[in-house]
Amino acid sequence: MASWDIFHAESLELERDLSGEAIRAALAAGTLNDDDLVRPAGTSAPWARLGDLPEWTTRPEPNLVPEPNPAPAASPEIFDLGPPPTAEPAPPIPEPAPPPRRVPDEPPARIRQGPMKPPPVPPESSDFEFRVEPSSPEIPAAQAPASLVAPPAWIELGGESDDVTFPVLDEPEPARPASQDASSWEWPDDEDEDEDEDNDEYEEDDDLAGRIEPDNEIEILDDDEDAGEILDADGLTVPSPHSAEAASRNGSSSVSLPVVPSRDWNEDRPPIESHGGDDEDFSLSRGGPTTVEELDLAPMVDVAFQLVLFFMVTATTILYKTLEIPKPSQEQKQEAMTQGNNARPMEDLKKIYVMVEIDAAGTIKIDGEPVAADAGAIAERLRTAREKSGRTIMLLSADYATPHRNAVLAYDASIEIGMGIAIARPKPPSGPAPSVFPGASGGNPPPPPTTPNP
Partner 1 sequence: MLLRRDLDQDRDEHIDMTPMVDVVFQLMTFMLFTIQMSGGEKVDVPPARHGVGVEETSATFLTLTRPSRPGGESKLLLGHGEGPTATLDQARKAAADGVKEGRNKVIIQADREVPHGEVLEVAAAVAQVEGVTVHLGVQEISGAP
Residues 244-273 that bind partner 1 (CB under 8 A): 257, 262, 264
Q: Burial level of 121, CB count in 10 A (0-12/13-18/19+)?
A: exposed
Binding mask 30-59 vs partner 1 (x if CB under 8 A, - otherwise)?
Answer: ------------------------------
Smallest separation, CB 440 to partner 1 (Å) = 5
Residues 278-317 binding partner 1 (CB under 8 A) are 284, 286, 289-292, 294, 297-298, 300-301, 304-305, 307-308, 311, 315, 317
- Residue 237 lies near partner 1 (rule: CB under 8 A): no
User: Rule CB under 8 A: is residue 377 a binding residue for partner 1?
Assistant: no
CB of 439 to partner 1, least distance (A): 3
Nearer to partner 1, 45 or 246 (CB): 246
Binding mask 320-339 for partner 1 (x = CB under 8 A): xxxxxxxxxx----------
Q: Could you tell me the CA-to-CA distances from 198 to 42, 193, 205, 355, 446 in Å, in that order?
A: 21, 10, 10, 108, 112
Inter-residue contact 424 to 450 (CB < 8 Å):
yes
117 within 8 A of 32, measured Cβ to Cβ:
no
- Nearest approach in angstroms of CB 315 to partner 1 is 7
Binding mask 351-370 toward partner 1 (x if CB under 8 A, else -) reads -------x------------
The DSSP code sequence of 408-453 is HHHHHHHHHHT-EEEEPPPPPPSSSPPTT-TTTTSSPPPPPPP---
CB of 308 to partner 1, least distance (A): 6
What DSSP element (H or E) covers 21?
helix 20-29
Note whether 347 binds partner 1 by CB under 8 A: no
For residue 188, the minimal CB distance to partner 1 (Å) is: 10
Least distance in angstroms from the C-beta of 157 to partner 1 = 37
Q: Which is nearer to partner 1, 142 or 318 (CB)?
A: 318
Sign of the CA dihedral with 88 first, then 91, 96, and 101 last = negative
Is residue 318 close enough to count as binding partner 1 by CB under 8 A? yes
Closest distance of CB 425 from partner 1, Å: 6
Cβ atoms within 10 A of the Cβ of 85, count?
15
146 forms part of the interface with partner 1 (CB under 8 A): no
Our finding on whether 151 is near partner 1 (CB under 8 A) is no
Q: Which stretch binds partner 1 (CB under 8 A): 60-68, 122-130, 232-240, 340-348?
A: 232-240
Binding status of residue 78 toward partner 1 by CB under 8 A: no
Decide: 434 and 401 in contact? Cβ < 8 Å: no
Is 181 one of the binding residues for partner 1 (CB under 8 A)?
A: no
Judged by CB under 8 A, which of 72, 137, 172, 442 binds partner 1?
Answer: 442
Q: Does 123 bind partner 1 (CB under 8 A)?
A: no
Q: How far is the CB of 228 from partner 1 (least distance, A)?
A: 14
Exposure class string for 133-158: b at 16+ Cβ within 10 A, else e: eeeeeebeeeebeebbeebbbbbeeb
Say whether residue 437 binds partner 1 (CB under 8 A): yes
236, amino acid identity: L
Looking only at residues 387 through 426 of this chain, which bind partner 1 when binding is defined by CB under 8 A? 398-409, 411-412, 415-416, 423, 425-426
Question: With binding defined as CB under 8 A, does residue 204 bind partner 1?
Answer: no
Q: Which of 50, 220, 349, 422 binds partner 1 (CB under 8 A)?
A: 220
Buried b (16+ CB within 10 A) or exposed e, 364-392: bebbeeebeeebeebbbbbbebbeeeebb
129 touches partner 1 by CB under 8 A: no
| Contacts with 251 (C-beta within 8 Å, 6 or more apart), sequence order | 44, 93, 94, 181, 183
Q: Which of 206, 280, 212 is nearest to 220 (CA)?
A: 206
Binding partner 1 (rule: CB under 8 A), the pick from 268, 435, 443, 454 is 435
Nearer Cβ to partner 1 (151/188): 188
Nearer to partner 1, 211 or 275 (CB): 211
Q: Which of 67, 138, 201, 207 lies at the binding interface for partner 1 (CB under 8 A)?
A: 201
Q: Which of 229, 234, 230, 231 is nearest to 281 (CA)?
A: 229
219 pairs with which residues across the strands?
256
How far is 11 from 32, CA to CA, in rounded Å?
11
Report the alpha-carbon distance of residue 117 to residue 124 in Å, rounded. 20
Cβ proximity to partner 1, 148 vs 366, nearer residue: 366
| Distance in angstroms (rounded) separating the CA atoms of residues 84 and 124 | 13
Would you call 19 helix, strand, or coil by DSSP?
strand
Number of residues that bind partner 1 (CB under 8 A): 75
Cβ of residue 447: shortest distance to partner 1, in angstroms?
A: 3
**How far is the C-alpha of 231 from the C-alpha of 40, rounded, in Å?**
32
How many residues are there in the chain? 454
Q: What is the rounded end-to-end Cα distance, in angstroms, of the chain? A: 134
